[in-house]
Amino acid sequence: MKKLIVACFLTVMMASAHATPEQDRLALRAFFQERFPKLDLNEMINGLYAFDEGAREQWLEMEDFPPYEIAIEEGEEAFNKPFANGKTYADCFANGGMGVKQDFPYFDVGTGEIITMEYAINKCRTDNDEEPLPWLVGELAQIAAYMAYTSRGNKMNVVIPDDPRALAAYEAGKEYYYTRRGQLEFACENCHMQSAGMMLRADRLSGMLGQATHWPVYRSKWGEIGTIQKRFQECNSQVRAKPYEAQSQEYRQLEYFLSYMSNGMELNGPASRR
């Protein structure tokens, strides 16, 4: 029955060339509600802990002294440190950069580009004659963690403007998510839709819904906080596909699509995962 539900959903998603992004989002929620009828879908912002009660208890205990706490503190310090010209990151963002993560990624109608939070942080640096930071971990991830922390409780609000370029970017991200790749010929949906809530070796797989709400993430296996695109690269490597560069057009489009699918769900980043 579960395989039939997944097959029907994928047939609808991939065949519905004229479906709007909002129709896609509602169809995704309906899919998971049918798949997990007793689950409060809002719990899916917690990833695997929405499905695994034992792991959830351990995770909640860890949240008393979360491993990302230092990253938030260091990110706040870096965020407020003036550039050589006297300006700070606050000068580059709406509302001084506080409580704005729910609006990322967004489509910049002027440049035709998808702007992620991390992309905007480094653009702020280069616009102020500072060197860009490494994309995946370190200071940039810490700054993003601090900005995410100030946005906790806000609801994801990714907008696809009435611009054919924005819709094309969304559709490209959607196609990426459902396309098999690598020597193992896995698509993102194979793990996070078809197998959501199931075990893969020693790990329980999270569901697609809510996957974009809690980044950056401190992963125990990383031993540090990292961005969502670090996870994209890791997933590509795990299915033996060549990863794209961080903040490539492909990954920004994927993040745009995945984030839109979580619209209306509460931000809860940064978070900790195994």
Q: Would strands 217-219 and 224-226 be described as parallel, antiparallel, or unpaired?
A: antiparallel
At 271, is the secondary structure helix, strand, or coil? Answer: strand
Given 8, 92, 191, 235, which residue is catalytic?
235
Closest by Cα among 43, 40, 39, 15 to 27: 15
Give yes or no for a contact between 104 and 158, defined as CB atoms under 8 angstroms apart: yes
At 220, is the secondary structure helix, strand, or coil? Answer: coil
Catalytic-residue membership of 235: yes
Q: Would strands 224-226 and 271-273 be described as parallel, antiparallel, or unpaired?
A: unpaired
Phi then psi dihedrals of residue 189, to 5 deg: -70, -25
What is the token pair recorded at 180? 């098999």
At 115, is the secondary structure helix, strand, or coil? Answer: strand
Q: How far apart are CA 20 and CA 82, in angstroms?
A: 43
- Helix (H) or strand (E) holding 41, with range, is none
The catalytic site residues sit at 235
